[in-house]
């Protein structure tokens, strides 16, 4: 059996994570029992939610255990199977964690999903045609619920969730405005993803100036806002929300290291009768099949042109994760493991 390299969380960060919180370990892979499946991971997904799981605090899920393999989505190929539902060579997506191989016990093989990489690249099943894409779908369809012609804003627009949100919203006839950090990211959002406009928040020193920039491209206000960031960006968008607007709160990356991120004008929620709803996409399994079908079609047709930042090798996963948290990635952040 192959030697398996893994990344363990060995200490909890008190503020921003550092490389010292992680350790690279090698462990032998156990022999398969009846019903087990051994997967060779090709790609590992890095996502902002992982930062919250590093804390030993109340959260929507159990904290990441110390001295164990970091949680994370993976896509790869079945190397060996003693399960009638899988054969060697099957491409599968699952939650294999930060490691090169995943031995999936019989009781957990229901969490593996076979995928077809003949029309959709394998890596896309961790991004646009995976959890990030379904996240965008749920927030758009089930919370914002737009009508054709509505103006929608999404923060972190060039990322895996934001890019999928834009494609899904444009397919429904909406006007879509992104907020992203940097001229290159904004150019990608408009020229390749087809957004109607994108505002570079890095050009503005405070929420008031960012609000003015957004108002210039949202002259009729905003019906729906998909929030990934919080902080200054959220405070800039909220004054533009029209009456009965909807805000889908997916992430608050500005506060993931523990800093408070107060909402500057909470009275707007009452004044404009806004619906502000947070959600966790794993709690809505019923939407995954229909969402994945639509997202797969968008990627296969070229309507959703995904961008990826790929680190090479499991040993570089911690550094890539720190880069993700500071916005150094462009599009979906992955680690290639083969």
Q: What is the CATH number of the domain that holds 314?
A: 3.90.180.10
Buried b (16+ CB within 10 A) or exposed e, 5-23: bbbbbeeeeeeebeeebbe
pLDDT per position as a tens digit, 187-239: 999 999 999 999 999 999 999 999 999 999 999 999 999 999 999 999 999 99
Q: pTM score, two decimals?
A: 0.93
Q: What is the pLDDT of residue 197?
A: 98
Q: Are residue 92 and residue 152 in the same domain, yes or no?
A: no
Q: Are residue 136 and residue 232 in the same domain, yes or no?
A: yes
pLDDT per position as a tens digit, 130-153: 999 999 999 999 999 999 999 999
In this structure, is residue 293 part of a structural domain? no
In this structure, is residue 271 part of a structural domain? yes
Domain of 31 in residue numbering reads as 3-126+307-336
Tell me the pairing of strands 74-81 and 91-94: antiparallel
Nearest 5°: phi and psi at 172?
-100, 10
pLDDT of residue 170 exceeding 90? yes
- Domains contained in the chain, number: 2
Q: Are residue 110 and residue 189 in the same domain, yes or no?
A: no
Cβ atoms of 332 and 126 within 8 Å: the answer is: yes
Cβ atoms of 208 and 230 within 8 Å: the answer is: no
45, 105, 111: which is closest to 73 by C-alpha?
45
119, 129, 132: which is closest to 158 by C-alpha?
132
Cβ atoms of 275 and 31 within 8 Å: the answer is: no
Tell me the pairing of strands 74-81 and 37-45: antiparallel
């Amino acid at each position: 059996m192959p030697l398996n390299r893994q990344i363990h969380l060995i200490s909890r960060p008190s503020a921003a994570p550092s490389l010292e919180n992680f350790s690279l370990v090698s462990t032998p892979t156990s022999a398969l029992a009846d019903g087990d499946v051994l997967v060779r991971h090709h790609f590992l997904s890095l996502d902002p939610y992982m930062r919250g799981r590093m804390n030993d605090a109340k959260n929507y899920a159990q904290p990441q255990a110390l001295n164990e393999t970091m949680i994370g989505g993976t896509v790869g190929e079945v190397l060996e199977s003693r399960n009638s539902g899988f054969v060697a060579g099957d491409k599968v997506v699952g939650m294999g964690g930060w490691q090169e191989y995943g031995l999936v016990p019989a009781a957990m093989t229901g969490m593996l999903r076979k995928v077809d990489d003949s029309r959709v690249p394998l890596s896309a099943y961790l991004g646009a045609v995976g959890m990030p894409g379904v996240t965008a779908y749920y927030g758009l369809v089930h919370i914002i619920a737009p009508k054709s012609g509505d103006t929608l804003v999404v923060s972190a627009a060039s990322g895996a969730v934001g890019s999928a949100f834009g494609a899904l919203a444009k397919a429904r006839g909406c006007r879509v405005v992104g907020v992203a950090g940097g001229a290159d990211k904004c150019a990608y959002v408009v020229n390749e993803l087809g957004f109607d406009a994108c505002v570079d928040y890095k050009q503005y020193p405070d929420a008031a100036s960012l609000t003015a920039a957004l108002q210039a491209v949202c002259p009729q206000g905003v019906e729906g806002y998909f929030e990934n960031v919080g902080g200054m960006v959220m405070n800039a968008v909220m004054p533009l929300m029209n009456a009965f607007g909807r805000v889908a709160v997916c992430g608050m990356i500005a506060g993931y290291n523990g800093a408070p991120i107060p909402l500057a004008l909470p009275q707007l929620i009452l004044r404009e009768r806004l619906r502000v709803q947070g959600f966790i996409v794993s709690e809505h399994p019923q939407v995954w099949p229909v969402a994945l079908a639509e997202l797969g079609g968008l990627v296969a047709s070229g309507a959703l042109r995904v961008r990826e930042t790929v680190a090479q090798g499991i040993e570089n996963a911690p550094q890539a994760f720190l880069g993700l948290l500071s916005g150094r990635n462009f599009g979906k952040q992955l680690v290639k493991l083969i």
